[in-house]
Chains A and B, each alone.
Chain A
């Protein structure tokens, strides 16, 4: 089908694949990008928040024409029980800056835009093409790919695996292990459409300002999980995700959790009257630093979700994906410029560069957090949320009980639920995992 040999083949047109393809093509490399979807973005799912700084490093003037929804001026972190939420809200007019820091985006639209930039930079982008196999030579080096289109193998000096979280090709080829049920979360999401002015009224927004709610609590039914609500221009992305291992043990259904979240008294009024236009599901890497696989080998590198690069604590994924794609591409460009072969030894440059970036530094900082949240997760996701709600209600309800007795009751409730030792131990473990 394709006789010519490429400098690089990029598998996948998500955030990391587009970043890699764009960076290599704009440095003059001959790049082929393969995407199995009908159009770039048609298989991609994200909340979605996009961080400007990491995209600026790839396309500095992206604000001129990228399809951005709202820039965030307010973040609400909620702890929920069945009838309440206790929250920390941060809103600042400082976020109304000339070049805002965070935007909500709709992936199918954003990815089409990003892909257009990739093509303009000179890469060949082939959609509706599923890569079925990596081609290896006698010395086991990756030298190309086979696809489900007619024709034989397509060859390249290096293959960039930007194939997404489940990583079918790389795991099947034995380049890395399949993610474990306890290192990935399953998230489901609905797109709720509402008139622009209704969204602005409900969240106190003007113009392109946006608001984000992220919530832990009894909504995840004791599983390690997170609910989220993101405001887009004319829609609200509402979803919830929990660890796959927890889902499997608890035999819970994600759509039941989503419907319960939609009916929560704190959420229901925010989406009232909306029209749902899509229901999506996706896996999110949650294993953190310890789940990062081998990132390079003879003739290949792996980037983005396929490399499990996701910061679960800060809920950052697409920026790590973009950055790893860019850095892998820069390493390949550097090798190419000095005519270095794409050997495992040379491609170690990618990992060396990634280790110096925020991507690996951030993941290393939280390396113990996944284990903490995954053991006895019901304490963090059920027991404490309930206790917090009781404490707040006890503090606010005025009923003639002397304040000293109220405080004693709150303290007693915490000790009864977790014991003194349990409270201290949870606090110490959290502090250590955070540092």
Chain B
């Protein structure tokens, strides 16, 4: 219940933002895994755009459309190889109006 409320709130927040999504070219990928590490699991809470979510098998999935390119997930999970992080192609991704 609380989770649903929080989720809708984040989506409301992201709705204010401008994005140019690069279709079919996600700039972040989660490596296939059986069980997520503590850091990867934490991203389902810590990601400020709530891009990371648990599927019903207990694995972490990503939909980076609302990503604000802060880099938090890169700091937490790139070194372990659990995620691949690249910048979006030039001009794509979040476009801050105020920043």
Interface residues of A (CB under 8 A from B): 36-38, 41-46, 48, 106-109, 111, 127-130, 147-149, 165-166, 168, 178-181, 184, 186, 188, 190-191, 235, 244, 247-249, 251-256, 259, 276-283
Contact = CB atoms under 8 A, between A and B. Distances in A.
Contacts of A38: 20, 91, 95
Interface of B: 6, 9-10, 13-14, 16-17, 20, 38-39, 41-42, 45-46, 48-50, 68-72, 74-76, 78-79, 85-91, 93-99
Contact of A278 (B17, B39, B46, B79): B17
A337 to B, nearest CB: 33
16 contacts: A43-B93, A45-B99, A107-B96, A130-B87, A130-B89, A130-B90, A186-B70, A235-B98, A247-B72, A248-B38, A252-B45, A254-B48, A255-B6, A255-B9, A255-B48, A283-B71
Contact of B75 (A44, A46, A178): A178
Contacts of A276: 13, 16
B74 to A, nearest CB: 6
A244 B89 contact: no
Contacts of A149: 90
B46 A248 contact: yes
B42 A108 contact: no
A283 B69 CA distance: 9
A173 to B, nearest CB: 14
Q: Find the residue from A38, A127, A168, A279 having the highest chain B CB count within 10 A.
A: A279
B89 to A, nearest CB: 5
- 4 residue pairs, one from A and one from B, having the closest CB atoms: A166-B71, A128-B91, A281-B48, A279-B13
Contacts of B75: 166, 178-181, 184, 244, 283
Nearest to B85: A168
Given A148-B89, A188-B48, A280-B99, A166 B16 contact: no
Contact of B95 (A37, A165, A191, A251): A37
Given A128-B91, A277-B97, 6 more contacts: A43-B93, A190-B13, A253-B50, A256-B6, A279-B68, A280-B96
B60 to A, nearest CB: 13
Contacts of A43: 69, 93-94, 96, 99
Contact of B90 (A109, A111, A128, A178): A128
A183 B27 CA distance: 24
Given A107-B98, A278-B98, A255 B10 contact: yes
A106 B99 contact: yes
Contacts of A181: 39, 75-76
A7 to B, nearest CB: 23
Contact of A148 (B9, B38, B90): B90
Contacts of B96: 41-45, 107-108, 278, 280
Nearest to B14: A279
A189 to B, nearest CB: 9
Contacts of B95: 37-38, 42
B85 to A, nearest CB: 7
A253 B71 CA distance: 15
Contacts of B10: 255
Nearest to B43: A248
A168 B41 CA distance: 23
Contacts of B88: 36, 130
Nearest to A275: B16
Contacts of B38: 248
A107 B66 CA distance: 20
Contact of A106 (B16, B70, B98): B98
Contacts of A253: 6, 45-46, 48, 50
A277 B85 contact: no
A106 B96 CA distance: 11
A253 B68 CA distance: 15
Contacts of B90: 36, 127-130, 147-149
B37 to A, nearest CB: 10
Nearest to A108: B99
Nearest to B13: A279
B76 A244 contact: yes
A421 to B, nearest CB: 33
Contacts of A107: 96, 98-99
A105 to B, nearest CB: 10
A178 B79 contact: yes
Contacts of A282: 68, 70
A108 B39 CA distance: 32
A281 B46 contact: no
Contacts of A129: 90
Q: Find the residue from B16, B50, B86 having the highest chain A CB count within 10 A.
A: B16
